Amino acid sequence: MTFNTSLSSTEESNLRHWLGEEAAKLGFDQLRITDTYLGSASERLKQWLADGRHGAMEYMERHAELRSDPQLLVPGTVRVICVSMSYLLPEGDFDKEWQRLEDPTQAVVSIYARGRDYHKVLRNRLQELSKMVESKIGSFGYRVFTDSAPLMEVELARKAGLGWRGKHTLLLNRNYGSMFFLGEILVDMPLPLDEEQEDHCGTCNACMTVCPTQAITAPYQLDARRCISYLTIENPGEIPLEFRRAMGNRIYGCDDCQLTCPWNKFSKRTQLSDFAERHGLGHATLLQLWSWTESDFEKRHEGSAIRRIGYLRWRRNLAVAMGNALASPDLAEPEKDLIRQSLQEALPSAQPLVAEHIEWALSAAKS
């Protein structure tokens, strides 16, 4: 990276104000700036990895040094422009979300994944913002990221003042709650820094209490190996038996700690159509999604973050949820018969990973 443009302090301040205005026009809710120093957060990451709490996410350990210093990732970086973009839709209803979680026939997909792949949405707009800056001041060094590189983006966003770290370890903001995506532009311009926000969690432990698998082991500490989001998305193998019942009907991710958080109840909603629900994922049933062929999965999840887990994990997750439905005292026998029949028909041709979970589902229903 090479920064060829010399700006006065007044010009830097004006550029900072202009950046905020242009970011808002592109759909970003907030823009803040921080430096590259991560301090004690780097040591906490190393300890988290040493404790094995990252589970099978080997890439986190492999690139630990890069995560600890943005200057190693992109040499010449002196500032990180951090942005947030809400994905909570105007029609989002938390009461309905809880009701769906209580209905064993429903297939619950995390809210963030029901629309277009956020990686593409944010990356394209970050590139556009960077090009606009280049047009305004001339050539400068930059690279854009959104959950796509070894970068401690939540910690950088916290330092930049986009919010504070909640006890569930997600970033929280008084106006936007926690249901937003993060993106970064690493630049070689010494732009003015923004201030950090204070922690406003207080004595509230709602997220810790509600977690189905007790993955939040202490305030501000998460064991990914217990988290349903990890188990259904990042975990490539069998879902541990001890967590299958707790998964309920969650087939991709888990929003419980966010649904219960007071700061999300009155958070501002997005107006972006990119995150609008696709293919009925906000009200689909287990049997509807189980009926999808691999071709259906690939086609309907084109342009979706869900596609990257692949069809086998998708079926694995569904099989667990269907087993939980069969074990539910709230489900009528005719509905259980349909689920049981669907599982039995799929078993002979199922891949080993899926077959094990189907067998568990069928046997667990009898226990």
Nearest to 204 by CA among 220, 188, 180: 220
Q: Determine how many CB atoms are found less than 10 A away from the CB of residue 206.
A: 16
Strand pairing partners for 173?
177
Amino acid at 226: R
User: If you write DSSP's letter for every residue of 51-63 in order, what string do you get?
Assistant: TTTTTT-HHHHHT
- Assigned token pair, 114: 């029901």
Task: Catalogue the long-range contacts made by 197-202 (C-beta closer than 8 Å, 24 or more residues apart).
Answer: 197/158, 197/161, 197/162, 197/163, 197/164, 197/173, 198/164, 199/164, 199/165, 200/164, 200/172, 200/174, 200/263, 201/164, 201/166, 201/167, 201/172
- DSSP codes of every residue in 283-331: T-BHHHHHT--HHHHHHHTTTSGGGGGHHHHHHHHHHHHHHHHHT-TTS
For residue 339, with 0-12 CB atoms within 10 Å meaning exposed, 13-18 middle and 19 or more buried, which class applies? Answer: buried
Q: What is the largest CA-CA distance in the chain?
A: 74
Strands 142-145 and 180-187: antiparallel
Four-CA torsion 244, 248, 251, 254, nearest 10 degrees: -100
Paired tokens of 160: 């930049």
Residue 303 — left, alpha, or beta (φ > 0 → left; ψ -120 to 50 → alpha)?
left
Smallest CA-to-CA distance from 335 within 358, 366, 355, 327 is with: 327
- The residues annotated with a catalytic role in the active site are 147
> CB under 8 Å to 37, separation ≥6 — which residues?
none
